[in-house]
Amino acid sequence: MSAVKTSGKTKAKTIAPPASRVPDRPAAPQADPLDSYASTELQNILDRSLHATAARLTGGISPGSLAGAYWDWAVHLGVSPGKQAQLIEKAVKKWLRLAGYCGRCMRGDDCPACIDPLPQDKRFNGEAWQQWPFKLIYQAFLLNQQWWYNATTGVRGVTQQHQNVVEFVARQLLDTVSPSNFLMTNPEVLQKTLTEGGGNLLRGAQNLADDLEAAYARGPAPGGEEFTVGENVAVTPGKVVHRNRVMELIQYSPATDKVRPEPVLIVPAWIMKYYILDLSPGNSLVRYLTEQGYTVFMISWINPGPDLRELSMDDYRQSGIMEALDAVQAITGCRGVHGAGYCLGGTLLAIAAAAMARNQHSPFATLSFLAAQTDFTEAGELTLFINESQVSFLEDMMWEQGYLDTRQMAGAFQLLRSNDLIWSRIVREYLMGDRRPPNDLMAWNADGTRLPYRMHSQYLRSLFLNNDLAAGRYAVDGRPIALSDIRSPIFAVGTERDHVAPWRSVYKFDLLTDTDVTFCLTNGGHNAGIVSEPGHAGRHYRIATKFEGDRYRDPDTWLDETPKSDGSWWPAWTAWLDQHSSGFGARPPLGAADSGYPVLMPAPGAYVLAD
């Protein structure tokens, strides 16, 4: 079955702008920012080594980037007397409002709150927070937080990114001194301490000691050892049928007597281990697909060390997706493949698909993108950390050690949701003394991978910093590619609370491609929204298709006009795959030794087990 659709219509293509021509001025030579360690000049070694040392001390955050943002804000605020007067007026009004609230509370009047928390802020929802003096304490904190938001935003002349950085940092600093974080100002912790005679604090101290020991030993978080890859997670039966220096290819055993001829090739993100899509048997997307009659292949990326520092984005494309496609087609004998990419894997899949479409050779019957972006202009608060200063800082750290360690990335991701991922956990586990039982998703989340220096630098510069893919400037084999060349039907999934790939950014597949696009929006976050098995309580989704030739709907209009359906989005996806698949046929063998793809070992393979 051919997966290539043809059209007689002439379509406008996005092309890169021509380089500026200045005939009387020769182009200045530029240093390659990706020079290998061995070929770097002595003076650059000194500078980059200093930057790398500083990066380890700052968690990879560039002091120059922060200083530039604050200087921009401070200078413009300093020459804005109107804004200063407004802030003084707001401060006086807030203090008067708080004083009035305090007086009414002291008289015992029934006084409504003078400021309400934001809808997503659950820190002060408990009944204990409505008692004196704690209601005054948290009201004062929220008023102060609101004033600082006003102070860091709306200053005329400050660039948008600098404003976002200053507002974000101010919010993080305020969150560290929230009254919910301290024993004497958190009434819920005080009540528990009195009830248990301090037993909660003893348990919290033990939890802290266990976490410090695990961090020092670089082992799994306490409780994470209950989930072992190949024993109770990543246990869907299968075989490794191909291996190279970048990936292992896993073919899963069919779960039905007959299967669809078109196989599914899943490209996971390389920032974490592949098995988020094959967790426990009850929530494994891989197992679910095999039970629906699909032959499933999964790429398992290597966990690179310093010796693989020079791996590039193109190495991941060629040795990853392209070699996997060759193996899938040789083993199944089917030309049409359902490609599915998760997160960064989806971005790489889009690059590969656009390059093959440009060359008028596409093996994809369909393409599915799960929480994956191809336009990075609205990539959420992650863009706060992406500018020339920050990228250069990270490059110097990676240049010295050869890779970016997952622990060096974790801090930035946790800061994006610090109330949920940092402070609420500190209060719950160290002050309340309550340790939540671990689950498979938490264990996977702690099982990260390293990122090779050259590949990650190219990714940050070409995609995040320059947005070359969406602009038609990203080159494959020396020539730019365009997402509008893709003709395979697309199924794109966004999640409502995604802080890594915001759903409005994922929605841009509607805007950037000239093919049928089915967009599905599900509740949950970047990980939990994708791992949304049937029967999972509280799940819902919206789904609609924009056919080639339909008028564009902006994401907010789409949200208003698309009805909500209860349940998991998985059945809707497999129903869509069924529509683009042939009838059932015989099951293919595991591997194809005659074609050069013998069975190498049982799943989950060796790469996923590497530390």
Cis status of the peptide bond prior to 604, with omega within 30 of 0 = yes
97 within 8 A of 143, measured Cβ to Cβ = yes
Gap between the Cα atoms of 367 and 262, Å rounded: 12
Q: Is 533 helix (H, G, I), strand (E, B) or coil?
A: coil
Cα–Cα distance measured from residue 470 to residue 416, given in angstroms and rounded to the nearest whole number: 25
Spell out where 82-192 has E strands.
none
User: 3-state secondary structure string, 254-268?
Assistant: CCCCCECCCCEEEEC
Dist CA 173 CA 144 (whole Å): 12
Angle at 403 between CA 443 and CA 226, to 5 degrees: 15
What burial class does residue 540 get, using C-beta atoms within 10 Å of its C-beta: 0-12 exposed, 13-18 middle, 19+ buried?
middle
Which are the contacts of 400, defined by CB distance < 8 A and separation ≥ 6?
37, 48, 49, 52
CA atoms within 13 A on the CB side of 106: 6
- Long-range contacts (CB closer than 8 Å, 24 or more residues apart) made by 27-34: 33/392, 33/395, 33/457, 33/461, 34/395, 34/453, 34/454, 34/457, 34/458
The structure tokens listed for 105 are 């509370």
Q: Locate tokens 């209601």: which residue? A: 135
Task: Quote the CA–CA distance of 143 and 151 in Å, as a whole number.
Answer: 12
Q: What is the CB-side half-sphere exposure of residue 170 using CA atoms within 13 A?
A: 19
How far, in Å, CA of 52 to CA of 73, rounded?
27
The conformation of residue 384, written as its DSSP 8-state character, comes to G
Is 394:174 a contact under the CB 8 Å cutoff? Answer: no
Spatial distance between the Cα atoms of 131 and 138, rounded to a whole number of angstroms: 11
**Which tokens go with 543?**
């789904």
Q: Which residues are catalytic?
A: 343
Cβ atoms of 405 and 198 within 8 Å: the answer is: no
In sequence order, what DSSP letters do the residues of 442-490 get, joined into one string? HHHHT-B--EEHHHHHHIIIIIIIT-HHHHT--EETTEE--GGG--S-E
DSSP state string for 242-308: EE-SSEEEEEEPPSSSSB-SS-EEEE--SSB-GGGGS-SGGG-HHHHHHHTT--EEEEEE----GGG
Q: What are phi and psi of 388, to 5 degrees?
A: -60, -45
303, two tokens = 């966990």
> Are the C-beta atoms of 337 and 365 separated by less than 8 Å?
yes
